[in-house]
Each structure stands twice: as structure tokens, then as C-alpha cells.
Structure 1
């Protein structure tokens, strides 16, 4: 397939690198400098101590018609991307954003494109404009946002390569909610405390704070199977113990975080349902303050 990847961040580079093994890939970046570097050097992927080079096309801006477009930008860049996508001929677009705030944007987006939603369960860290470290091997689960026919691309995407499976599911919303639960338990606290993921379960005080976020989020999302979900959150902390969360990386590098997509979405739902969420409110406001400060380094 001819696949376009919108976004040159960690997930965009990771998807482009793996999918280039079987497909013709074009990466669309915001900066021309990054596109030039990718064209010149390809994408360097580091996984389990091994380095793999992938040759892909790259350009700034978004143009053309593809068998599939995969949008990997963070939520706070999404509206600009939607405006650009609105100018393109109808095509299939898969959105891979953290949180769930983007669902509201897509519901209100008047478009003839066929829309799909995905959940990324990989860990990745952008090392440079053309390098990505695959820090945690998982899967991408995706489904049709508007119940479009998916048989052909489902079969193609299910042709998995080593360490990179794309699995179709009709239960994408449940998967998204469970990923949101993990994100809201881990990301804000690691960013506020400046700790790696494993510290949240190694330190009893941190773990207590995480359970507070968990209880509020489970209530807001009306999720059952609390015991299973808590064990799932803990298992993610264990598997990614040495990782810096994406939100922590954003704070360290002085960038805007995904708090609106993750905590902001939950707070809107809580307000609509009349549910108190004091801990999530505190995390949200604290992160907003931190985003306005330049953190020098992570130690």
C-alpha cells in the first residue's frame, strides 16, 4: 500500500520505520529541516540493542492521495492537521492519538474521509529528527470510527512484521478507555514528580496518589472489573519501569503536554455527570503551571 504518515514524532517515526518493510511510506513533517534529514538519512530505529535503517519519502506539509493516511500528531496539533486534511480528496485516515478528546473533534468534523481510530500500546522515544528508540514492544489496535468497510486494509495491516502488529477490533472504544486509564494513572504523576514509571509502584506514597487517580477515572468512565484494570496499570508500570513517560519528556523539554487530551477529557465528562474529581483537577492545574516553565534536565 501507499501509506502517508502525518507527524514526525516518536510514534510517526516508529510507524514509518516498521511499515516501510512492506509498504511505500511518505512521512509528512511540520518542519522542512526534518523532512530533509529523513530523506537524506532514512529513519534509524533502535530496538533491543539493534539498529535498523528504513528508507522512506518525506516532505513538509500534507498533500496527495494515499491508500491510507495515519495521523500520529499529538492532540494539541490535531486541529491544524484536520484543517489541512479537509483540503484533500476523500481517503482513509487512521488517527493514533493519546487520550480521547480527539473523538469529540472527529464527531464534529464534517468530512467525506473514511475515519478510523487506533490505540498505540508501544513505547517509543524520539532520539533525533530521524532516529527513534523502540522502548516497549506492544501492538496497535484499531477500528472503524464510522463503520466503514475495512476488509481490504484489515487484511493488509494484519500482515504483521516482527515487533509491530496492527490488530483490528470492533471494541476500539473500550480499548481506548482502558489506555486512557493507564495514561491518566502514570503520565501526570511521573511528570509532576519527575520520576520514571517504575517509581510509582516502588514508592508507597506515589502508589497511593496513583490509586486516587485510578478511582476517579474508573468512576468517570463507568468501568467495571476494577481489580483487573488496577493489575493492568501496575503491570504497565512494571514492564516500563525504566521508561520516562511521554508527558515527563514533554515537561523536561519545555513542550506542551497532552493533559487536555487525557485529564481534560475526563474532567469534562466528570463535570457533565456531576462527579467530583479533586485529584485529577489538581494534576491538571499543576501540569498547566509546569508547562509554562522551562525545566533544565531530568535526573
Structure 2
């Protein structure tokens, strides 16, 4: 394979593109129509050490889909299906890796792209978009890949170049477990920071102690039941949540940024997933946050 194609030039997509490029991998960005005719600048990546590195990438548009060798999808969850539908000429042999936030899309993607090798990626690298084509890598993390269909299982060889570029990449036969682990953290941090218009680090302030505790308990109960015997302890989840809050203290969550800038959020795929699977577990804080964020969106 000679080029990775990134669909979704947000913070994480740009950081992953930068990491791949730094290891000599070629990267292209699949761009939307609003970018057509615009000057496509180099990506300016601020590394963990604070250095600026210019990352060269190739602009791609839907008519170039027939040349895509591996598609990595980082776009907003609610844009995934529409964006994939535009790639009418994508070869059926091209693997598609879904890195989007939240859960609830996989069955629809399998129905839309039944012949393509389909995979899910779960990545915990910290990333922050400071402006268009300027992103900051704010923290190292783990990356996990897993197959969504039988064809996806044939692409485990992608692990080697991804691990070399990202520092860690492993295969999971239960990728949904890793998705739920990530979603649990997002279902606490994202709606709380969006509702209160604060950075992640501000969640440790005393004024948020009670609501943080209650929301953490709600989310944990729902995810633990879904994970069954693989569920982590509540203390382990609290420690993991606290670690993410500390490591991303200066970051503003994607949901906070979307709401603050008048954009649609991914609340349906994060908190909405918790509400859908609560099934009798009381989740009043999650419900209140969901209702208020949906109201503000409207």
C-alpha cells in the first residue's frame, strides 16, 4: 500500500495523518465539496515536544475514490453514512476503518458497504484543533483495530505500519469492548463540558463534584452490564476517567466545541447510546444533559 486516505480532517484525523507522515507513510485527505477550488495548505502539526512540523498531504475528492487503497474515517458520526455514499467509485476491495466517536453506526455501514473489508479503530491519542490545518498532539494513547466483517479479518497486516507510526496498535477480536470503554469516558466528559462550556480539566473543580460522581455512576452501570464478565471495576473506571481528565486538562471536548460554535453534536451516538441501553437503570443526569444539549442544538 502506498497511501492512507483520511476522511475527516478534524483534530484526531490530522494528528494520525501527521504521525503516519513522520514515519514516511504517504497520506491523502478526502475532502468535501466546500474545499474544492480552495488552496490546500500543508498540515501544521504541533508535536508533543511543542515543535511545529509541516506535513504534506494530497487533496482527494470523491471522483478519486477509485484510487483509495485504505480509507480511515474520522468524520463526525452523523456524517459517516452520507460521506461514504459519495464515494461511489470506491473499490470493493478497499478496507474502511471507522474511527468515529460514539457507537450505533456499524450495522448501517455494513448494510451500505457489504462487500468492503470493514474494520473499527479505537484510538486514545489526545488531539486539539487550534485552527484550520493547525493541530496539536496533546497526548500519546493506545490504538486498537478489529474486524466488522469476515473480509476485515484479512487486514491484520495494517497493524505493523500503524504501530510504527502511532507507538501502539494491537488487534482485538472484541473491538466493541474497546469502543464501549472509550464511549464510557466520552459519555461523562463530553456532555458535562458541553453543557457547562468548560475545558476538560475544569471538571475537577469542587462545584462539579456531585454531578460528576452521579454521571460516572450512571454511565458505569450501563456499560458494565453491556460488558458482562469483561466489565472493569467501578474504581478502575474512575481511575481511567480521572487519568483522561488530567491528561486532556487543557483540551475542550469535541462536543463542547461543536455546541459553542453552533454545530450539531454527536450526543445521539454518545449519551444517546447510554440512554438506549439503560434498560431500567436510572440515568436522570444523562437524560437531562441529553435533553438540554438537544434543545441548544435546535
Mark yes or no: TM-score above 0.5: yes
One of 89, 94, 117 as aligned partner of 2:97: 94
C-alpha deviation, 1:129, in angstroms = 2.7
One of 290, 293, 296 as aligned partner of 1:284: 290
One of 128, 133, 155 as aligned partner of 2:131: 128
Once residues 72 and 35 of structure 1 are traced to their aligned partners in structure 2, the CA distance between those partners, rounded to angstroms, is: 23
One of 23, 28, 31 as aligned partner of 2:30: 28
Aligned to 1:263: 271
One of 94, 106, 109 as aligned partner of 1:106: 109
Once residues 57 and 139 of structure 2 are traced to their aligned partners in structure 1, the CA distance between those partners, rounded to angstroms, is: 23
With over 3 angstroms needed to count, the CA separation of the structure-2 counterparts of 1:102 and 1:33, relative to structure 1, is same
C-alpha deviation, 1:145, in angstroms = 1.7
Spell out, residue by residue over 1:100-127, the C-alpha distance to the aligned partner (whole angstroms, 9 max, x if none): 1223423443520000101121222223
Let me know the Cα RMSD of the aligned residues: 2.1
Q: How many matched pairs?
A: 285
With over 3 angstroms needed to count, the CA separation of the structure-2 counterparts of 1:35 and 1:52, relative to structure 1, is farther
Q: Contact 2:122 / 2:178 at 8 angstroms: preserved in 1?
A: yes
With over 3 angstroms needed to count, the CA separation of the structure-2 counterparts of 1:7 and 1:34, relative to structure 1, is farther
C-alpha deviation, 1:253, in angstroms = 1.3
> What pairs with 1:1-299 in structure 2 (closer than 5 Å)?
1=1, 2-21=3-22, 22-33=24-35, 36-38=38-40, 41-47=41-47, 48-61=49-62, 63-85=65-87, 87-90=89-92, 91-147=94-150, 148-160=153-165, 164-203=167-206, 205-221=207-223, 222=225, 223-270=231-278, 273-292=279-298
Q: Contact 1:194 / 1:248 at 8 angstroms: preserved in 2?
A: yes
Segments of 4+ moved more than 4 angstroms: none
The TM-score, its normalising length taken from structure 1, stands at 0.87
Q: Extract unaligned runs of 5+ from structure 1.
A: 293-299
Q: Contact 2:159 / 2:171 at 8 angstroms: preserved in 1?
A: yes
Q: Extract unaligned runs of 5+ from structure 2.
A: 226-230
Once residues 177 and 248 of structure 1 are traced to their aligned partners in structure 2, the CA distance between those partners, rounded to angstroms, is: 21
Spell out, residue by residue over 1:160-207, the C-alpha distance to the aligned partner (whole angstroms, 9 max, x if none): 35xx5433333422211111110011110011111211221222x412
